[in-house]
Amino acid sequence: MERYSRPAMADHSHRRELEPRPHRHHYDADMLSVEDALERILAHFSRLDAVDTPLLEACGRVLDEDLVATFDIPPLANSAMDGYAVRSADTSSASSERPRDLPVVGSVAAGELPDRPVPPGGAIRIMTGAPAPAGADAVVPFEDTDEMERRRAGAALDVIGIRTPAEPGDNIRPAGEDARAGEVVLKRGSLMRPAEIGVAASIGRKSVCAVRRPVVAIISTGDELLSPGEPHQAGKIYNSNAYSVAALVERFGGEPRVIGIARDTVKSLNEALDAGMRYDMIVTSAGVSKGDYDVVKDVLSERGSIALWSVRMRPAKPLAFGSLRGPDGRSVPHLGLPGNPVSAMVAFEQFGRPALRVMLGLPPVSRPSVRATLDDDIYNHDGRRVYARVTVYKARNGSYRARTTGNQSSGVLTSMVAANGLAICPDDVAMMSAGDEVTVEMIDWPETVF
Ligand code: AMP
Ligand code: MG
């Protein structure tokens, strides 16, 4: 499953060149593979610093300390059921026909401490989670007693009839069964998921030291763009990339900052980049195709290093990547996505997501993939790796099938709406036919709707 074997921590002494190797003759040979492009990109990222993080904000983040239990969990042996704490030996002759009657000498609720032991031949009424009284080695649940009948008959509960023999240890949870005092319950480097959040709370922590979320500036470029909310105008299109990419950033664990639209002028782009420089990464969209690139290239090369790549993939062939120098000397990595809405999303899946994962301290592994049988053909016209938008679904026999989501033009954003995966047609395969097995990188799980 682990496609990228790079360690999570970037080693800056081995930074790769940004520029593709020169002196290639054939245009295709100048194209970078997805893997090469990713490797060059990831060389510019490393794990961010860790900060004290309130527990409820820690989900999806990497723990940067060992969490140690300072006491046993649970702290005392306690009851797993509502029932009666007994000495199991006293119940050996119990049956439904001949319940064993035991005098009830007290009761103990969750959060209380028992005020007396269970005497031989006696019982203490006990609630789930309440500490087991001394002497008791088992709890008999209510349903194995005659408490209900006694209540119905209006009898006092000073005696209880036990109907089932108890074994030593029945329904008693030993102290420290979850964790022992001194034990490391979560190791440094753990990904905080809901279970880890719960464990941290169970040892009494309200915050943990966790790697902070990367903050990503998102800039759209283009004279044709309108912001959603502005009145519609002929000849203009709404800036959808900023929003789809911001949502991806959020989904991958980052914090998006939508800077807005830069017009195709040096001044406007510079202003937007100035606003983005204080963040961990800048993502732009559009302006990286051959005709458009000049403004972007001029501006970016003034501010650091920038390379325009052709990546051997469809969609999302044009990609820019660079490193911008901030006024404080800090350099900020810049990912320049193609403008076409599907290309921008697919490129962000392939390159933005792993970069965010590295900053989060997670291995930059690709999305989980499934093997599925194609319902439709996938064509590969020009030797690039095709990421076809597909809907993966479960056939009646339980196997996965994948059908393409219609028009695969990189401008057809609605083709992403129906998709839950990207089916991969390798660059050296000219066509995959209906019935072929294909690998699909899942962007959502077939059964998951949320
Ligand atoms: P470009 O890379 O500037 O040549 O843009 C390629 C295509 O993507 C053009 O059709 C643009 O109108 C479109 N496009 C560029 N930016 C955006 C954006 N932010 N939202 C939606 N479409 C865009
Ligand atoms: Mg443009």
The 3-class secondary structure across 287-323, one letter per residue, is: CCCCCCHHHHHHHHHHHEEEEEEEECEECCCEEEEEE
pLDDT band at 446 (very low <50, low <70, confident <90, very high): low
Q: Strands 123-126, 100-108: parallel, antiparallel or unpaired by DSSP?
A: parallel
Whether the CB of 340 sits within 6 Å of ligand 1: yes
350: CB partners within 8 A, 6+ apart: 34, 38, 313, 316, 387
The CATH code of the domain at 1-24+367-450 is 2.40.340.10
Cite the residue boundaries of each domain of the chain with CATH code 2.170.190.11: 78-173
Please state the rounded mean pLDDT for residues 62-84. 98
- Which ligand 1 atom sits nearest the alpha carbon of residue 318? 2
User: Which residue intervals of the chain bear CATH 3.40.980.10?
Assistant: 31-48+212-360
Return the CATH fold of 53-73+178-211: Molybdopterin biosynthesis moea protein, domain 2 (3.90.105)
Here the tokens at position 395 are 């056939």
Q: Nearest bound ligand to CA 318? A: 1
Q: Where in the chain is the domain with CATH 3.90.105.10?
A: 53-73+178-211
Give residue 294's pLDDT. Answer: 76
Indicate if the pLDDT at residue 419 is higher than 80. Answer: yes
pLDDT over 60 (residue 412): yes
Which amino acid belongs to residue 214? P
Residues of the chain with CATH 2.40.340.10: 1-24+367-450
- pLDDT tens for residues 140-172? 999 999 999 999 999 999 999 999 999 999 999
The ligand whose atoms approach the alpha carbon of 222 most closely is 2
CB atoms within 10 A of CB 112: 12
**Which atom of ligand 1 has the smallest separation from the CA of 221?**
16
Confidence of residue 8 (pLDDT cuts 50, 70, 90): very low
For residue 339, how far is its CA from the centre of ligand 1 (angstroms)?
4
* CATH architecture of the domain with range 78-173: Beta Complex (2.170)
Name the pairing type of β-strands 215-221 and 281-285: parallel
Q: What angle do CA 210, 214, 217 make, to 5 degrees?
A: 160
Pairwise CA distance, residues 344 & 272, whole Å: 19
* 220 Cβ below 6 A of ligand 1: yes
Are β-strands 421-425 and 437-442 bridged in parallel, bridged antiparallel, or unpaired? antiparallel
Q: How far is the CA of 228 from the centre of ligand 2 (A)?
A: 18
132 three-state secondary structure: coil
- What is the Å distance from ligand 2's center to 264 Cα? 7
The CATH topology of domain 31-48+212-360 is Molybdenum Cofactor Biosythetic Enzyme; Chain A (3.40.980)
Contact 284, 221 (CB under 8 A): yes
Distance CA 429, CA 434 (A): 14
> Is 289 a pocket residue for ligand 1 (Cβ < 6 Å)?
yes
- Which amino acid residue places its CA nearest to atom 6 of ligand 1? 339
Is residue 224 in contact with ligand 1, taking CB distance under 6 Å?
Answer: yes
Strand segments (E) across 15-146: 50-54, 67-68, 78-79, 83-86, 100-108, 123-126, 138-141
Residue 251 predicted with pLDDT over 90: yes
pLDDT digit string (tens) for 299-324? 999 999 999 999 999 999 999 999 99
| 350 CA to centre of ligand 1 in angstroms | 19
Q: Which atom of ligand 1 is least distant from the CA of 288?
A: 2
Lowest mean pLDDT of 15-24, 107-116, 281-290, 308-317, name the range.
15-24
Q: pLDDT digits over 367-381, tens only?
A: 999 999 999 999 999
* Average pLDDT of the residues of the chain: 92
CA 316 – ligand 1 centroid, Å:
12
